[in-house]
């Protein structure tokens, strides 16, 4: 299946965004670790959060998380400390995504985990039990989800945990998000330089309200950047957020979008400002990469965007996917060095019919659909992939005035 997307003449809309799957998935794990029941309000309707919620609500022993990478990482750590025998599996793509670093770390804490098929990859067989705390060292350049998975179970470890992060820390805001949520549930960690210390303690809270998804908001920043007369109100968005992706506000200020907070939410407006050259390090916001790269390319702004080291092990190889799909517009971007995408204005032969491959990656569909404002009639292949993080995306696009035809 594919959708053909054509733009509206003007845009003046209010959007009720889905809630954050990053915040929600952490809250789901921490709430499951609480002794008393916690009321979680506004659980994200994303595939990842719904799958994780179903797994935590079920009895097992087999958990199939499909393509939900966060669920795979967080459940592995959670089940390692939960008495019982468990197996976690997933989609064929999930079976190609490495998890050895997390498994090795959990084994150092006493976990009993075996690979059911290929060494270093899911599926996993887990015999859950009480784990030992103490000291643990992890490379800082690994996925923050591995680090967060360890941090969230740290209060359950005997004696707590002192975690040392070795090297330059990537995706720092995601680690901070985890620690902030742990603090909400009553466990205060101390993060000093490259060392995080977590006491052995019981989580506790009565209610937690999940906030809106700033990653999802980024696609509306892109829409406003492409349409000079656009106004979009993101209902419920607040200036203070657990999410590092809330920095989309400052990123897009440099790309012509002003954010004004009102009692109703965040109002986005096009300022008409464009830069001659854009340079940014997205090491703390890698999930914004497809949106920002596509925006710069479509606005004809040469750029250098770094900090993209983790993009090759996401739902797809996002660096390769961006290079391939932007080439269809006649835009020849390149990876100048590992984790850095650049464009100096170089062009290539444009496709006669632009049809965007999504590679089973929700963010490819989400980031490329707004380009219809500048290239009416593009098509998006396998558009249903947006359900992973933003199930109502196409309905919102139609409500704004986009013409979506299958």
Average pLDDT over every residue of 292-306: 97
pLDDT, the chain, mean: 95
Q: Which residues are catalytic?
A: 287
Say if residue 142 is in the same domain as residue 246.
no
* Whether the predicted pLDDT of 154 surpasses 80: yes
* Whether the predicted pLDDT of 313 surpasses 70: no
Full residue range of the structural domain in which residue 159 is found: 21-209
Alpha-carbon distance values, 137 to 140, 210, 260 (Å): 9, 31, 42
Domain boundary among 160, 176, 209: 209
Report whether 325 contacts 356 (CB < 8 A): yes
One DSSP character per residue, 61-129 reads SEEE-TT-HHHHHHHHHHHHTSSEEEEEE--TTGGGS--HHHHHHHHHTT-EEEESSSTTSS-EEEEE-
Domain boundary among 177, 209, 241: 209
Confidence at residue 309, expressed as pLDDT on a 0 to 100 scale? 83
Say if residue 191 is in the same domain as residue 44.
yes
pLDDT tens-digit map of 40-71: 999 999 889 999 999 999 888 999 999 898 99
Domain boundary among 181, 209, 237: 209
Average pLDDT over every residue of 267-285: 93
Domain of residue 247, CATH code = 3.65.10.10
Alpha-carbon distance values, 105 to 127, 133, 181 (Å): 15, 11, 22
Percentage of the chain beyond pLDDT 90 is: 87
pTM confidence score: 0.86
């Amino acid at each position: 299946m594919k959708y053909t997307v054509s733009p509206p003449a003007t845009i003046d809309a209010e959007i009720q965004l889905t809630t954050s799957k990053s915040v929600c998935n952490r809250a789901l794990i921490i709430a499951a670790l609480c002794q008393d029941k916690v009321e979680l309000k506004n659980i994200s309707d994303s595939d990842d959060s719904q799958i994780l919620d179903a797994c935590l609500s079920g009895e097992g022993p087999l958990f199939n998380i499909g393509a939900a990478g966060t669920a795979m990482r967080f459940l592995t750590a959670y089940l390692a400390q939960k008495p019982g025998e468990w197996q976690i599996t997933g989609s064929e793509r999930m079976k190609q995504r490495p998890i050895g670093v997390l498994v090795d770390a959990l084994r150092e804490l006493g976990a009993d985990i075996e690979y059911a098929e290929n060494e270093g990859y899911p599926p996993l067989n887990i015999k859950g039990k009480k784990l030992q705390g103490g000291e643990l060292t992890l490379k800082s350049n690994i996925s923050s989800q591995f680090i967060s998975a360890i941090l969230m179970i740290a209060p359950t470890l005997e004696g707590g945990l002192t975690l040392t992060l070795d090297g330059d820390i990537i995706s720092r805001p995601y680690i901070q998000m985890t620690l902030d949520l742990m603090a909400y549930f009553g466990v205060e960690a101390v993060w000093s330089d490259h060392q995080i210390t977590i006491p052995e303690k019981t989580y506790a809270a009565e209610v937690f309200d999940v906030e809106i998804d700033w990653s999802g908001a980024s696609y509306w920043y892109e829409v406003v950047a492409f349409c000079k007369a656009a106004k979009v109100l993101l209902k419920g968005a607040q200036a203070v957020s657990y999410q590092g992706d809330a920095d989309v506000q400052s990123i897009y200020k440099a790309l012509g979008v002003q954010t004004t907070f009102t009692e109703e939410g965040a109002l986005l407006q096009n300022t008409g400002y464009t830069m001659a050259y854009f340079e940014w390090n997205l090491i703390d916001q890698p999930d914004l990469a497809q949106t920002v790269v596509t925006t710069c390319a479509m606005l004809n702004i040469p750029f250098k965007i770094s900090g993209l080291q983790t993009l090759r092990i996401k739902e797809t190889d996002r660096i390769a996917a961006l290079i391939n799909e932007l080439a269809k517009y006649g835009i020849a971007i390149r990876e100048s060095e590992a984790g850095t995408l650049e464009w100096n204005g170089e062009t290539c032969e444009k496709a006669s019919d632009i049809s965007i491959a999504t590679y089973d990656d929700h963010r490819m569909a989400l980031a490329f659909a707004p380009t219809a404002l500048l290239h009416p009639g593009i098509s998006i292949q396998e558009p249903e992939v947006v359900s992973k993080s933003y199930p109502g995306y196409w309905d919102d696009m139609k409500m704004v005035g986009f013409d979506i035809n299958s």
